[in-house]
Amino acid sequence: MSNNLLDFASVQATFTAHSAELHAAEVHGMLTGLICAGFSFESNNYTTLIEDMFNNGESLSPEVRINIKLMFSQVWQSILDDSYSFALLLPDDDESIIERSHALGVWVQGFNLGFGLEQKKTSSLSDDVKEVLQDFAEIANLISETEENEEVEQAYFEVSEYVRISSLLCFTELGTPPEQKNKSESLH
């Protein structure tokens, strides 16, 4: 991975240092949900949506906004990447399974929130997408008060991989990739 990619700990530290009561995983999930539901790359009101949803409509600090803009850009880059580099912004594996499970839960909550803000016609969704949203709601409601062991680690890995792949499925069905202006310009 490139050194300029955001990681959970640094984003969360920036949010905390600037008194933003945001959870990095939830914000990443919300941005991913927006994008997977058809949010346009050219739209720039996602920071306003985050401020409305998580900060009572109050402006976030410039440092927090920069992190959110970088996150938005990275979600787009990784979701469009043919090598499936898209990854959930979650705590590292050295963090406790309880912390990682909580972060995964708030990630899927954020995804469903962002998805719902962008995609209001649930009747037109495919059965696969409807199932993903239902599964994400169930994952979000799981309370993980478990001991750290190999079985729990394996289950966490499988669920987080399911969430990652399911997000890509939603984008494939509903996402609107940015217009490729350079390709059309080079044809002339």
58-76: pLDDT as tens digits: 899 999 999 999 999 999 9
**pLDDT score at 71:** 96
The amino acid that residue 167 corresponds to is S
- The rounded distance, in Å, linking the Cα atoms of 109 and 136 is 7
pLDDT digits (tens, 9 = 90+) for 108-152: 999 999 999 998 877 789 999 999 999 999 998 876 556 778 888
Burial of 71 (C-beta count, 10 Å sphere; 0-12/13-18/19+): buried
Q: What is the mean pLDDT of the chain?
A: 88
pTM: 0.90
pLDDT over 90 percentage in the chain: 65
b/e sequence 137-154, b meaning 16+ C-beta within 10 Å: eebbeeebeeeeeeebee
CATH numbers and ranges of domains, the chain:
8-178 (1.20.120.740)
Q: Rounded mean pLDDT of 82-101?
A: 91
